[in-house]
Amino acid sequence: MTGRYASMCAVLAGAVLPAALALAEPLGLPPVPVPAANPMTPEKIALGSRLFNDKRFSSTGQVSCATCHDPDKAFTDSPRSTSEGINKLTGTRNAPTIVNAAYFAHQFWDGRSPDLEDQSQHPFMNPVEMGLPDHEPILKIVRSDPEYAVSFRHVFGVGPDAITMRHVQLAIATFERTIVAGDSPFDKYYFGGDKSAMSDEAVRGFQVFLGDGRCVSCHTIEQDHALFTDNRFHNIGVGINRIQDKVPEIAPRFIEAKTKGIDVDKAVLSDPSTSELGRFAITEGLDELGAFKTPTLRNVAVTAPFMHDGSLKSLRDVIVHYNNGGVTNKGEHVNDFLSGGIRPLNLTEDQISDLVAFMEALTSPQFSKPPLTAGKFGPPASNVKSQAPDATASRMIASAGGTP
Amino acid sequence: MNKSYSRRRLLQTAGSMAAVSVLPLTWVELAFAKSEQNFTFAYISDSHIQHIKGSQFVNNWDRGLIRSVAETNLISPQPDFVMFGGDLAQLGTRAELDHGAEMLSRLHGKQRYVMGEHDYYLDLGEYWSKLFGPQYYSFNHKGVHFIVLNSVLTTDEWTYKRWPTAEQRMLEMAGLDNPNGSPFMVGEKQRAWLADDLTGISKDTPIVVFSHSPLQKIYKGWNFWTDDAEQVQALLQPFSKVNVIYGHVHQIQYNQIGNISFNSVMATAWPWPYPQGYAQAQSMLPKLTIPMNRADPFFERDATGWQLVDVNTGRVDLNYNLYSNRSRTVAFDPKLGHPADKQFQGEAVLAPNQVHY
């Protein structure tokens, strides 16, 4: 194995952009974008996996990244509406899946992090997530734990005292880049040419998705792959509808507080009203008031509940919300800042059922029920593959996961 | 949109001006001896509310107006008043004007209105006037003389004799490039009123004129045009600081003719292309104007917007709130003696897809 890893490392270390990587993507996905400054190696992936699962990085010792991004729940905490951190504290947002997060142009529902490397540092210090006062406790652990010391030296060539938070972030991000999944019935149908891969219902639902449902405008499908997200932010009438009357009061107050230096990460997760300002809290752009990131739809059927606040319980509820033109209950006031593309759709009950069937056809095989047994899950797909045909990423990850 | 712009505006509640970078604050301070005389007004225009049937209206146009109203209400401190620049309706019906007026009624504070051709040519402004008052008028505010003109009139022959029905007359004028249309004009009666209105106004009083069509000639084929523009301009030229703000063109334009600065405003409904894109006839888009970005048709609100207007030094500075796009500020530059974009000024600072004239 070592020899094969070495050859793979050589390939990966030399890679700058995905095109240069010797990757074999799951059906329906493009090459994973890997930043030049953080090349992927099997050792770094294994280290990242361990950091991801380490509960010691929380103030209570009971919460790890995997608590809310549970591999057995498609890397979410389904069926929770909003995530539960230390001491059963809950935040304001539904845990987004990490599956295929490698492809997103922004991280977090409001996109306040530009990439996985940056994102991974924040939940440790959020008071309703992992609750650390700063990153020092993490550094203390990784610098004193002998196995971490070996791993960090191996991966980054640094001694224990030279380990920084940046190293921790690089490793976690690298692990997360292995968590990609395609190969859904839809992928086999659309990209694989297997016309029997989806049910008749789902095939009809796909037409609704492209046509009357207008879904594809934001949940995009390209010619040779589909991420089901435009990587943009839209006000679709979720969350903001609850606070719309208070916006003239909340928005200026938040901007004022932000100018005075409040921690935006903490504010948006701990204050329900501020949270609903969405992307506006980050960019201060009026056209992003109440707007949240378009999530991928891959594996959506196994990550209920839905929307940034987990307020909609079923896929049918979601479609009804859109069908009503951006309100959950017909006749409610549509918020003034609604994004342009959201409008009543006039879908029939049959169309709604077909659309649900289509979304259920977006589940990758490794997340199809029944769920895998806890603890035995290895990140699914063979997205990182050595040039040797038998050294698949899944084996590599299984091996990585075995590292205590 | 531009970050500094919204931050500055929202921040004024906090009494903090520290984050300002876009607007020429020093000018504000220099403008009048008493700083309380500086003021802003908001300008919303060209919503084209369109009736389908029953209680149904074109959703996209509704949403454009609704969000511009809601955003205007967020601006703090509130603008002194809000202008609506014309073409509230698409085909001038009561249903459209009523529906539009209802949405506009949610604006906080004083509103004033300009007549557009889409409001006018069904009943020659009768119902519009019932809702919004006179079609041309003037008022004074904090040392500035404001004038509103109905610039979308045309010949009596076209208006009264050519079309069998009022509906057809409306439809003929509603088309952008319909050769059956007729050039807009202010007309003799209003020009006489204007001359009279300006009598007794001192020549150094800042003057702001609102019209729907440009009071300058840009492109006749699309009626980006007012036929008696030169005669109106002649009445205004004796004054040292004159500003004309017009809608109708659904795009950013600006120009300087003598003492008169011209600025156009955006539509909340949809963008028009620039007339030079029409290859078969020459257009006269002012050379000063740096066009706005071409709209991305995938984004319903792209290349639409509304504007907050700063009034200082007797000149108007237009801050364009643009969706899915970079906001722009077009302000009078005293060194250059004409309006100029605060950011896009010449080849060196042009965004890649801007064209410089």
Q: Is B67 on the interface with A (CB under 8 A)?
A: yes
CB within 8 Å of chain B, chain A residues 285-324 = 285-287
Q: Mean pLDDT for chain A?
A: 87
Selected for mutation to probe chain A from B21, B44, B59 (highest A CB count within 10 Å) is B59
Instruction: Find the helix or strand (DSSP H, E) in which A117 lies.
Output: helix A116-119
Residues A118 and A221 in one domain: no
Among B235, B244, B250, which residue's Cα sits nearest to residue B305? B250
**Strand pairing class (B207-211; B242-246):** parallel
Among A239, A323, A311, A324, which residue's Cα sits nearest to residue A280? A239
- The residues with which A70 forms a beta bridge, in sequence order, are A76
- Expressed as residue numbers, the domain containing B250 is 30-349
- Expressed as residue numbers, the domain containing A146 is 2-181+372-402
Residues A46 and A103 in one domain: yes
Residue of chain B whose alpha carbon sits nearest to that of A282: B3
Q: For A353-377, how does the pLDDT look when each residue is reduced to its tens digit (9 = 90+)? A: 999 999 999 999 999 975 444 443 4
Q: Is B74 on the interface with A (CB under 8 A)?
A: yes
Residues A229 and A358 in one domain: yes
SS3 for chain B, per residue? CCHHHHHHHHHHHHCCCCCCCCCCHHHHHHHCCCHHHCEEEEEECCCCECEEECCEECHHHHHHHHHHHHHHHHCCCCCCCEEECCCCECCCCHHHHHHHHHHHCCCCCCEEECCCHHHHCCCCCHHHHHHHCCCCEEEEECCEEEEECCCCECCHHHHHHCCCCHHHHHHHHHCCCCCCCCCCECCHHHHHHHHHHHCCCCCCCCEEEEECCCCCCCEHHHCECCCCHHHHHHHHCCCCCEEEEECCCCCCCEEEECCEEEEECCCCCCCCCCHHHCCCCCCCCCCCCCCCCCCCCCCCCECCEEEEEEEECCEEEEEEEEECCCCEEEEEECCCCEEEECCCCCHHHCCCCCCCC
Measured in angstroms, the CA of B192 and the nearest CA of chain A are apart by: 43
CB within 8 Å of chain A, chain B residues 302-341 = 321, 323-324
Q: Is B57 on the interface with A (CB under 8 A)?
A: no
The token pair at A326 is 């951006």
Query: What's the CATH number where A207 sits?
Result: 1.10.760.10
Residues A219 and A172 in one domain: no
- Of the candidates B13, B66, B300, the beta carbon closest to that of A256 is on B13
With a cut of 80, say whether residue A25 has pLDDT above it: yes
The count of domains in chain B is 1
Distance CA B295, CA B301 (A): 9
Conformational region of residue A145, where left means phi above 0, alpha means psi within -120 to 50, and beta covers everything else: beta
Average pLDDT, integer, range A28-33: 96
Selected for mutation to probe chain A from B2, B5, B13 (highest A CB count within 10 Å) is B13
Residues A126 and A218 in one domain: no
Residues A235 and A127 in one domain: no
Query: 3-state class of A113 per DSSP?
Result: strand
Task: Show residues of chain A in contact with B13, CB under 8 Å.
Answer: 252, 256
Among B201, B257, B253, which residue's Cα sits nearest to residue B357? B253
Strand order in the sheet with B242-246: B137-141, B144-148, B207-211, B242-246, B260-264, B254-257
Q: What is the pLDDT along chain B (357 residues), one digit of tens a residue?
A: 344 444 444 434 333 332 222 222 222 233 333 456 678 899 999 999 999 999 999 999 999 999 999 999 888 778 899 999 999 999 999 999 999 999 999 999 899 999 999 999 999 999 999 999 999 999 999 999 999 999 999 999 999 999 999 999 999 999 988 999 999 999 999 999 999 999 999 999 999 999 999 999 999 999 999 999 999 999 999 999 999 999 999 999 999 999 999 999 999 999 999 988 776 777 888 888 888 888 888 788 889 999 999 887 788 999 998 888 888 899 999 998 999 998 876 655 444 444 443
Q: What's the pLDDT at B35?
A: 55
Q: Is B6 on the interface with A (CB under 8 A)?
A: yes
With a cut of 60, say whether residue A2 has pLDDT above it: no
Task: Judge contact between B273 and B283, C-beta under 8 A.
Answer: no
**Strand pairing class (B254-257; B305-312):** unpaired
Backbone CA torsion sign across A189, A194, A198, A202: positive
Question: If you search the block for the tokens 């077909």, which residue do you land on?
Answer: A354
The token pair at B67 is 């969000």
Q: Is A341 on the interface with B (CB under 8 A)?
A: yes
Question: Roughly what angle, to the nearest 10 degrees, separates helices A349-360 and A200-210?
Answer: 100
Q: For A273-314, how does the pLDDT look when each residue is reduced to its tens digit (9 = 90+)? A: 999 999 999 988 888 999 999 999 999 999 999 999 999 999
Instruction: Find the helix or strand (DSSP H, E) in which A281 lies.
Output: helix A280-283
Task: Show residues of chain A in contact with B19, CB under 8 Å.
Answer: 259
Q: Are A286 and B301 an interchain contact pair (Cβ–Cβ within 8 Å)?
A: no
Measured in angstroms, the CA of B271 and the nearest CA of chain A are apart by: 14
Task: Judge contact between A5 and A400, C-beta under 8 A.
Answer: no
Distance CA A266, CA A254 (A): 12
- Of the candidates B3, B76, B300, the beta carbon closest to that of A284 is on B3
Average pLDDT, integer, range A130-153: 97
User: Amino acid letter at A266?
Assistant: K
Task: Show residues of chain A in contact with B73, CB under 8 Å.
Answer: 248
Q: For A373-398, how does the pLDDT look when each residue is reduced to its tens digit (9 = 90+)? A: 444 344 443 444 333 333 333 333 43
The token pair at A123 is 């939940």
Q: What's the pLDDT at B284?
A: 86
**Strand pairing class (B137-141; B144-148):** antiparallel
Instruction: Tell me whether residue B281 is in a domain.
Output: yes
Distance CA A90, CA A162 (A): 35
Instruction: Tell me whether residue B179 is in a domain.
Output: yes
Residues A147 and A209 in one domain: no
Task: Show residues of chain B in contact with A256, CB under 8 Å.
Answer: 10-11, 13-14, 16
Q: What's the pLDDT at B348?
A: 52
Question: If you search the block for the tokens 């190293």, which residue do you land on?
Answer: A167
Instruction: Tell me whether residue B15 is in a domain.
Output: no
- Of the candidates B69, B74, B301, the beta carbon closest to that of A340 is on B301
Task: Show residues of chain A in contact with B69, CB under 8 Å.
Answer: 336
Query: What's the CATH number where B236 sits?
Result: 3.60.21.10
Q: Are A340 and B18 an interchain contact pair (Cβ–Cβ within 8 Å)?
A: no
Burial (CB count <10 Å: 0-12, 13-18, 19+), residue B221: middle
The token pair at B6 is 């919204």
Among A242, A218, A241, which residue's Cα sits nearest to residue A231? A218
> Any idea how long chain A is?
404
Measured in angstroms, the CA of B163 and the nearest CA of chain A are apart by: 37
Phi/psi of residue B303, each to 5°? 65, 20
Rounded alpha-carbon distances, angstroms, from residue B351 to A362, B86, B128, B322: 40, 31, 41, 15
Q: What's the pLDDT at B325?
A: 80
Question: If you search the block for the tokens 């789902």, which residue do you land on?
Answer: A202
User: Amino acid letter at B234?
Assistant: A
Residues A191 and A73 in one domain: no
Instruction: Tell me whether residue B164 is in a domain.
Output: yes
Q: Are A259 and B67 an interchain contact pair (Cβ–Cβ within 8 Å)?
A: no
Instruction: Find the helix or strand (DSSP H, E) in which A272 lies.
Output: helix A272-275
Query: How many other C-beta atoms are found inside a 10 Å radius of the C-beta of residue B275?
Result: 23
Task: Judge contact between A131 and A59, C-beta under 8 A.
Answer: yes
Measured in angstroms, the CA of A28 and the nearest CA of chain B are apart by: 24
Q: Is A14 on the interface with B (CB under 8 A)?
A: no
Average pLDDT, integer, range A229-236: 96
Average pLDDT, integer, range A188-214: 97
- Of the candidates B7, B13, B76, the beta carbon closest to that of A284 is on B7
Q: Are A283 and B3 an interchain contact pair (Cβ–Cβ within 8 Å)?
A: yes
- Of the candidates B1, B13, B19, the beta carbon closest to that of A252 is on B13
Distance CA A337, CA A245 (A): 12
Instruction: Tell me whether residue B12 is in a domain.
Output: no
Question: What's the pTM?
Answer: 0.85
Q: What's the pLDDT at B36?
A: 60
Q: Is A331 on the interface with B (CB under 8 A)?
A: no
Residues A25 and A168 in one domain: yes
Q: What's the pLDDT at A19?
A: 36
Measured in angstroms, the CA of B10 and the nearest CA of chain A are apart by: 5
For every residue of A169-231, DSSP letters joined together read: HHHHHHHHTT------HHHHHHTS--TTSS-HHHHHHHHHHHTTT-GGGTS---SS---S--S
Q: How many interchain CB pairs under 8 A, A with B? A: 70
Residues A380 and A287 in one domain: no
Phi/psi of residue A56, each to 5°? -65, -15
Q: Is A217 on the interface with B (CB under 8 A)?
A: yes
Q: For A42-61, how does the pLDDT look when each residue is reduced to its tens digit (9 = 90+)? A: 999 999 999 999 999 999 99
Task: Show residues of chain A in contact with B321, CB under 8 Å.
Answer: 286
Measured in angstroms, the CA of A206 and the nearest CA of chain B are apart by: 20
Radius of gyration over every alpha carbon of chain B, rounded to an integer in angstroms: 19
Q: Is A259 on the interface with B (CB under 8 A)?
A: yes
- The residues with which A269 forms a beta bridge, in sequence order, are none
Instruction: Find the helix or strand (DSSP H, E) in which A233 lies.
Output: strand A233-234
Task: Judge contact between A127 and A59, C-beta under 8 A.
Answer: no
Task: Judge contact between A325 and A345, C-beta under 8 A.
Answer: yes
Q: Which residues contact A200 (CB under 8 A, 6 or more apart)?
A: none
Instruction: Find the helix or strand (DSSP H, E) in which A396 lies.
Output: helix A393-402
Q: Is A136 on the interface with B (CB under 8 A)?
A: no
The token pair at A4 is 């094969």
Distance CA B23, CA B33 (A): 19
Residues A281 and A141 in one domain: no
The count of domains in chain A is 2
Residues A175 and A191 in one domain: no
Instruction: Tell me whether residue B18 is in a domain.
Output: no
Instruction: Find the helix or strand (DSSP H, E) in which A292 lies.
Output: strand A292-293
